[in-house]
Amino acid sequence: MRRFSLRSLVTEAINAHQGWQRQWRAPEPKPAYDAIIVGGGGHGLATAYYMAKQHGMRNIAVLEKGWIGGGNTGRNTTIIRSNYLYDESAAIYEHAMKLWEGLSQELNYNVMFSQRGVLMLAHHVHDVQSFKRHIYANRLNGIDNEWLTPEQAKAFCPPLNLSRDIRYPVVGAALQRRGGVARHDAVAWGFARGADAMGVDIIQNCEVTGIMRGVDGAVSAVETSRGTIRTRRIGVVAAGNTSVVMERAGLRMPLESFPLQALVSEPVKPVFPCVLMSNAVHAYISQSDKGELVIGAGTDQYVSYSQQGGLHITTHTLDAICELFPQFSRLRMLRSWGGVVDVTPDRSPIIGKTSIPGLFVNCGWGTGGFKATPGSGHVFAHTLATGEPHPINAPFTLDRFSSGRLIDEAAAAAVAH
Amino acid sequence: MLLVTCHYCGARPEIEFRCGGEAHIARPADPSALDDRAWSEFLFYRTNPRGVHAERWNHVHGCGRWFNALRNTASDAFLATYPAGGKRPDVATGGK
């Protein structure tokens, strides 16, 4: 792998940029691997990267049915924060946050991580009480989160409408200054480039069509659209398609897949300095470096794999955006799209073993998985490499739905997130 | 927005309905006889198929009645509706 540096940039500028290499190979699948990761999104590629980097496993492959980063990694609104209520969630999202803070240097790839602050608006007394509880819980876990009055929120995010005669006036806000955004494609590409350089085979256009088991019951191979590949260890990181992949191993999952939509406006000059979200009126907004306002909507109510959702879902979000920011009401929306998110009953992910030896799963990130990408990959790499969960993902077992030890962020946030 | 055909009222826009999730999940007759795993199956585990899905819908802003529908989750095309508690019809997958 050729490292990016000022020197390489100057050299290539002199040589008319003729010397840049492919960022990763396009290898043919080998007959067997030590481990196979099903799903080449951010989480799968991060898993492969940390397996190679931290655990020395080089004979591994990432199988992606489409192209890498073409699923939810390329479809989300790139919000990164770690101010979750419960200790288990706080630990894993803060683990990810710490990795984000050094990720561009780690990968030698600019993921454009920008800690511009994530502002969460409170609109009524329940929000205020809930957010303050979050703030105190976060501080006990060493995570920054602070309470702002409406005027302080306006100072931090000047476009905000503080009028008292909107339907849900702003009565305060919680601010995580270390929160922000990153360039989602760069995250996939950076991890892919780093993993490939250490020998990981990234195989695109390779759909897993079956999971085979040996006489001992453990996994023995995967059948793919490019032939059968033997392996004793499989990590399924297939996001919205997890139920479909796991069904091929005969397992039902506590998951439902819903469409989740996002949209962007026409590009405008810098008008929006932070990330702003409101669970109560359901608005998520930030501005990309291209100038588009990036807006996240909610999930549809029905199970679907269609990667599109209802227009009334996006208009509901735009109603809220236009109340909070009346000046945006004249902006035209350029594009909207949908992804398929796998949602667990408690809105927390599942990262760990299954009842089948050698089969591991990292799923259920629901509507908020992007922020966890490096942390998720890091702890899942540990799980796959050692066969046992990392202390950080130990609580996120599949068994918790039987034992009752749920990590109920659904109740904590009162919204999908 | 989906055009949902209420089993009783006919085709109406989706905003008149609430989707009640997967159909044919019967509450066990004697919950205390189940082990944790079986109870968890009832509460949390779902088929979540890519293809034909049997699901419950409530025409909440219309006649208020529940009914079941078969829908292809890859194309979102409705294939059949039938009364709540009825037997799942045998239909082709429809759509892509």
Q: What is the pLDDT of residues A44-99, one digit of tens each?
A: 999 999 999 999 999 999 999 999 999 999 999 999 999 999 999 999 999 999 99
> Are the beta carbons of A244 and B50 separated by less than 8 Å?
yes
Which residue in chain B is spatially nearest to A241 when comparing CA positions?
B50
> Are the beta carbons of B49 and A243 separated by less than 8 Å?
yes
> What type of residue sits at position A109?
Y
> Are the beta carbons of B44 and A312 separated by less than 8 Å?
no
What is the signed CA dihedral for A169, A132, A391, A111, rounded to 10 degrees?
A: 40
**Residue A254 contacts B where some CB pair is shorter than 8 Å:** yes
Cβ neighbours of A301 in B, within 8 Å: 18-19
Q: What average pLDDT does range A278-286 have in this prediction?
A: 93
Binding-face residues of B in 6-65 toward A, CB within 8 A: 14-15, 18-19, 21-22, 36-37, 39-41, 43-50, 53, 55
Distance CA A224, CA A210 (A): 7
DSSP assignment of A317-370: HHHHHHHH-GGGGGPPEEEEEEEEEEE-TTS--EEEE-SSTTEEEEE--TT--G
Q: What average pLDDT does range A225-232 have in this prediction?
A: 97
By Cβ distance, the residue of B14, B40, B50 closest to A305 is: B50
Confidence of residue B93 (pLDDT cuts 50, 70, 90): low
Q: What local confidence, expressed as pLDDT, does residue A2 receive?
A: 87
By Cβ distance, the residue of B37, B43, B55 closest to A302 is: B55
Cβ neighbours of A255 in B, within 8 Å: 46, 48
Q: What local confidence, expressed as pLDDT, does residue B96 receive?
A: 46
Distance CA A28, CA B59 (A): 52
Distance CA A233, CA A366 (A): 25
Distance CA A118, CA A81 (A): 7
Say whether pLDDT at A410 is over 90.
Answer: no
For an interface test with A, give the residue of B12, B44, B56, B75 to mutate (most A CBs within 10 A).
Answer: B44
Q: What local confidence, expressed as pLDDT, does residue B94 receive?
A: 57
For an interface test with A, give the residue of B39, B48, B76, B93 to mutate (most A CBs within 10 A).
Answer: B48
Residue A21 gets which letter from DSSP? P
Q: What local confidence, expressed as pLDDT, does residue A415 receive?
A: 53
**pLDDT tens-digit map of B5-24:** 999 999 999 999 999 999 99
By Cβ distance, the residue of B1, B22, B46 closest to A312 is: B1
Helical (H) or strand (E) element with A138: helix A125-140
Starting at the edge strand found earlier in the chain, the sheet holding B66-72 runs B18-22, B52-58, B66-72, B78-83
- Closest of A255, A235, A216, A267 to residue A384, by C-alpha: A235
Q: What sign does the dihedral B64-B66-B72-B74 (CA atoms) show?
A: positive
Please, what is the average pLDDT of chain A? 96
* 3-state SS, one letter per residue, for A152-177: HHHHHCCCCCCCCCCCCCCCEEEEEC
Cβ neighbours of A310 in B, within 8 Å: 1-2, 14
Q: What local confidence, expressed as pLDDT, does residue B91 receive?
A: 84
Q: What average pLDDT does range B40-60 have in this prediction?
A: 97
pTM for this entry: 0.96
Neighbours of B33 (CB within 10 A): 9
> What type of residue sits at position A241?
N
CB pairs under 8 A between A and B: 71
**pLDDT tens-digit map of A130-176:** 999 999 999 999 999 999 999 999 999 999 999 999 999 999 999 99
Q: What local confidence, expressed as pLDDT, does residue A412 receive?
A: 61
Q: What percent of chain A has pLDDT over 70?
A: 98
Rg (CA), chain A: 21
Contact A125/A88 with Cβ under 8 angstroms? Answer: no
> Are the beta carbons of A254 and B46 separated by less than 8 Å?
yes
Say whether pLDDT at A414 is over 50.
Answer: no
Q: What average pLDDT does range B87-96 have in this prediction?
A: 74
**pLDDT tens-digit map of A89-120:** 999 999 999 999 999 999 999 999 999 999 99
Q: Given the structure tokens 């979000």, which residue do they identify?
A: A317
> Are the beta carbons of B48 and A302 separated by less than 8 Å?
no
Helical (H) or strand (E) element with A374: helix A373-386
> How many H-runs (helices) and E-runs (strands) does chain A carry?
12, 19
